[in-house]
Structure 1
Amino acid sequence: MNNNTRYTFSSIICNSDIMRAAIQKAKKAASFTLLPILIYGETGTGKELFAQSIHNASANKSHPFIAVNCAAIPETLLEITLFGSVRGAFTDAVNATGLFEQAGSGTIFLDEINSMPMSIQPKILRVIQEKSFRKLGSSSEIAVNCRIIASMNRPPLDCIANNTLREDLFYRLSAITIEVPPLRERKEDIETLANYFIQKYSATYEVAPIVMPPKYLEMLRKHSWPGNVRELQNTIESSLVMLEPSSGSFPTPDIFTHYDAEMSGGPSTTDNFLPSEETKVANLKDTLFFTEKQMLVTALNKYSWNISNAAKALGISRSNLQYKIEKFGLSRK
């Protein structure tokens, strides 16, 4: 496909009724090209996969699909990135085409719009209402012909309460709302997804066909998967990388041994696991991984998942914290 996408609805691997219902709703939404769509789901559930699939099932599929991660672009650059600028708008300003204009008659995907600075959100609201925008430094209106799809990785009402999302913008975006369920609510998909990733990475790493042993599959089913499908994907890839060349079954990576505590009814260690003293000496990398994760969880919970306040307490930028939340597959409980 030459429209900046890789996925269609056939790319979504599932067996569960709840996921099939979400897909069916998304397919129906694809035909209404003038309405904004809001996709809500935890980190790692596959929101962009849905967004691309909707675009490729629409009448505008031959036009560009433009994705922008609202959490990854600094506030000072986001307005120019979205709307463009004209020469003379500010020091060293040049004529630049923004993403809304680049999208043409296609789709613009505003990923993690709940991380978009509040100063930019009224401008998105105006685009939806007026179907036009102005480049930075220009007085001329440019018509918007693209569909807007936005995603959120936090419950919308929580974002409104925490002042990370304007209420009026939410109601404008949510003409059609699609919720992508977390993996823990569709555990019947785990084995199917795991086998898909085994086939994918077996080819990548040139590993002979592998059959998951019952204990390994039980481990996958018991885990709560806070990082959702992305975490499962990384787990399978890690297991294949650590596989002995002559082995016909999966080893359990050391970094996942804390799953056994969950399986045996012990305390859940998904968020607060730290290796033993022996492991700390033996594996510094794992220790640093879990220590950093615990610090992030502690700060986010302390500030009720207010990204700006948690980032300030941790001494890192807002965009860096957003990156780490995605990296560790963290989600609000």
Structure 2
Amino acid sequence: MTDAPVKTDVAIIGAGPVGLFAIFECGMLDMHCHVIDALEAPGGQCAALYPEKPIYDIPGFPRILASDLVERLQEQAAPFAPVYHLGQQVIRLDRQTEGGWLLTTSAGTSISTAAIIIAAGVGAFGPNRPPLAGIRDYEGLPAGSGVQYLVRRREDYRGRQVVIAGGGDSAVDWALSLADVAAGIAVVHRRDKFRAAPQSVQQLRALAQAGRIELVVPYQLHAIEGDGTGLKGVIVRDLDGGERRLAADVLLPFYGLTQDLGPIAAWGLNLDRNHIAVDPASFSAGPDGIFAAGDIASYPGKLKLILTGFAEAAAAAHAAYAIVHPGEALHFEYSTTRGVPHPA
């Protein structure tokens, strides 16, 4: 443990896109931030799960890769000199007698802060693993081989036989993205209806009609084949028990993420299943000085979009101002009139 805690105005838990934008919003209100994230680098899911996935609904960017978005957000936050505590998790939260909160991380870091913004996305996350015998033997192999639960670089799949399992946005989007580099793509889904954006589904079906993607429906994963050092094939089964073998160098199962709030669940917040119920006027999470924004925040009419999280981060930062600067009136200024400081 450190002898004395470091002090800051706002502690941000989560360094994903919403957490990074919260740094900027706090900085514009003269509040300094320390940021804690369990991952080794900023970016959250955008960096860890789909850095090369294009995003189309960020205002001003008709198309931007997730990794590029993270880079831009870090650049935007840099003038306010945030301090990052990466590769560590907040494991304890205590009220301080003089006011504010004391956070303790798994690395032994102590942070004294007036306010907290929780932007932890879905909390600690991991893939939902399909129940296939021996599947763990093919995990952890080099990218582009075996069983992988995320795509970091499209080039890793060039010339490979790829089997994608799932019917949501991730499965459909990666099928479209890898169609240009893979030797072959088979999309396995238990029914012929996909739970993805209609335009993406139309593109998927068009590629299937052109023979560039094979839609293996209605089928489900049944078994995998290989020699332990590499995947050779995937066995699928239809509703009548009929089986097919698909040649495969790599299996990409996209069945969503398991999520766990971890220590956050014991902090006395307004919990709603695996989310934090907030007041949509202030994004208060319950106890004074604790706010939540992004996917972890829940309220009626919530839209789980990055752009929604950005607006929530701005609102949470403005609400935190009264905690950090009690008794001081907030004179709102637009960034166009105030400007931002130059990075050190």
**TM > 0.5 fold call:** no
The normalised TM-score by structure 2 is 0.25
Q: TM-score, normalised by structure 1?
A: 0.25
- The structure that is strand-richer by fraction is 2
